[in-house]
Chain A
Amino acid sequence: MGGYFKEIFDGAHSLVAGMGVTLKYLFQPVVTEQYPHVAPTMPDRFRGHIELVANPETGGTLCIVCGMCQKACPSGCITVAGEKVEGVKGKVLTKYELDFTKCSLCGICVESCNPGAITFSKDYNLAGLRKEAFIYDLKKRLEERKR
């Protein structure tokens, strides 16, 4: 009989103790990130989708159209194209397309890039109404950023 009452007492005590924890935290500051009202800052190493790096001297791209990123990508989301222009050594980038619908943000492309022409963007607000919204023309984006 004593065990029965002890069980009831211990059980009731455990519930009160649990409520005590909740009560204590009720009067403590809010820990939740107030996301839409307060925008989070992305850490330096945040891996967003890739972006072309602007050449600090000319404002153009650093890309030499070697195609290493295209080859390194596990999902085949990168398409690079270039052409010969007279008076310029090597190839000139004409198209850099990223199919973000397939990208798994692994960052192997950025590692494979010898001239350091691509980097991660800090863009985390990614929403679109159609698939085409996620096929990025990175060359165009670079030019838009320049303006």
Chain B
Amino acid sequence: MIELASDKQKETFVLNMGPQHPATHGVLRVKLVMDGEYIVEAEPVLGYIHRMHEKMGENRNWAQFMPNTGRLDYLGALSYNHGYAAAVERAAGIEVPERAEYIRVLTVELNRISSHLLWMGAYLLDLGGFTPLLYAFDDREKILDMLERVTGSRLTYCYFRFGGLYNDVDEQFIGEVKAFVARMRSRLPMYHTLVTKNVILMERLKGIGIIDADMCRRYGVTGPVARGSGINFDVRKNEPYSVYPEFDFDVPVYSEGDSMARYMVRMDEIEQSLRIVEQAVNRLPEGPVMAEKVPKVLKPPKGDYYHAVEAARGSFGVRVVSDGTNTPYRLKLRSPTFSNLSLLAEVARGVTVADAVAFMGSLDLVIPEIDR
């Protein structure tokens, strides 16, 4: 362990990382108290893009909040659509047709793959490797094109509706998805040759930013970060929702707890998502994509409802409180990266700036979701 200066006032200086910094991927400011190259204290300063999403939910009707969910985590917007739609469906007691559920799972998993691909590209960019980003974006572009044809938008989707979907998928989409699964499977070994086995990457990630399972529990960490620390928790398995129980997939868990483990979890998750996508396409049932008799003006009965989904970054929970009117009384959004970021202060102590960047990137931070 590195011995830090005893007189903090004299020997340390403050270094601001962000709010405008390429490695924070948004307007996150981290106040670093430095002792030379080493971090003495790291304090994330939040709120630069706080947009009051929770309060906004209270002054518009249930359906009107849907576009907001796509603006929380803009890389995995469909999971957030899903979380909100499912919470309100639970509140209003709406049954979703099976075909709609299958398409939801299918599109959410595609979105998860695109999110992980973007994370991989951007993370390696933080670490100084430019090329992998271009390969990752090539594959991600295929997903965005497919989803654009179906949902109408490329990033901030607003595709799910209470009781189903905005519109159905067509044969062309099914064909494109099948072609994509085959393509992605053939590309994954290339990623491993180019990136995973690269000696520079391994040297930079192994043993960096170690988080143990106990720390994850203390901070409420979920998603790939927790699974990289040996916690086998995935909302899709532990609290099954939608039609996930019908699919055969594994939850990748690594026990090392370092940045490399988190990297491996996400790479394996791409493979598992491909499995789900493949099964969903092959077993896609016929039928309507919208539940019948969904009232135009939704007024869920009085009560307090919660629904969590597994987003690309962890467990995203929506708590809705209804007072029986057409407007939510309270809308609480539990976003995974907020909890995941809380670790930073504890883990970054005593490491160099370069390693802190390698650690922070492995958390897969999306700032609009932290600030909401």
Contacts and interface: CB of A to CB of B under 8 A. Distances in A.
Interface of A: 10-12, 14-15, 17-18, 20-22, 25, 31, 43-47, 72-74, 104-108, 111, 120
A110 to B, nearest CB: 10
Leading 5 A-B pairs by shortest Cβ distance: A11-B199, A106-B67, A74-B64, A47-B152, A43-B149
B58 to A, nearest CB: 13
Given A47-B153, A104-B71, A105-B153, 7 more contacts: A15-B199, A18-B195, A21-B190, A46-B152, A104-B156, A106-B158, A120-B152
B198 A18 contact: yes
25 contacts: A12-B199, A14-B199, A15-B198, A17-B193, A17-B197, A18-B195, A18-B198, A20-B193, A21-B190, A21-B194, A22-B131, A25-B135, A43-B148, A43-B149, A43-B152, A45-B167, A46-B148, A46-B152, A74-B68, A104-B67, A105-B156, A105-B158, A107-B166, A108-B63, A108-B66
A47 B199 CA distance: 45
B158 A14 contact: no
A147 to B, nearest CB: 29
Given A18-B193, A45-B167, A120-B152, A74 B198 contact: no
Contacts of A72: 63-64
Interface residues of B, number: 30
Contacts of A14: 197-199
B60 interface: yes
A110 B162 CA distance: 17
Contacts of B193: 17-18, 20-21
Interface in B37-65: 60, 63-65
Interface string B138-152: 100100000011111
A74 B66 CA distance: 9
Contacts of B150: 45
Contacts of A45: 148-152, 167
B152 A74 contact: no
B191 to A, nearest CB: 9
Contact of A10 (B131, B151, B194, B199): B199
A108 B64 contact: yes
B60 A107 contact: no
A11 B60 CA distance: 57
Interface string B24-37: 00000000000000
Nearest to B71: A104
A18 B158 contact: no
Contacts of A20: 193
B250 to A, nearest CB: 27
A107 B150 CA distance: 14
B149 A74 contact: no
Interface in B193-230: 193-195, 197-200
Contacts of A44: 149
Contacts of B149: 43-45
Interface in B62-93: 63-68, 71
A38 to B, nearest CB: 15
A99 B204 CA distance: 49
Contacts of A108: 63-64, 66-67
A118 to B, nearest CB: 14
A44 B173 CA distance: 13
Contacts of B135: 25
A5 to B, nearest CB: 14
Contacts of A18: 193-195, 197-198
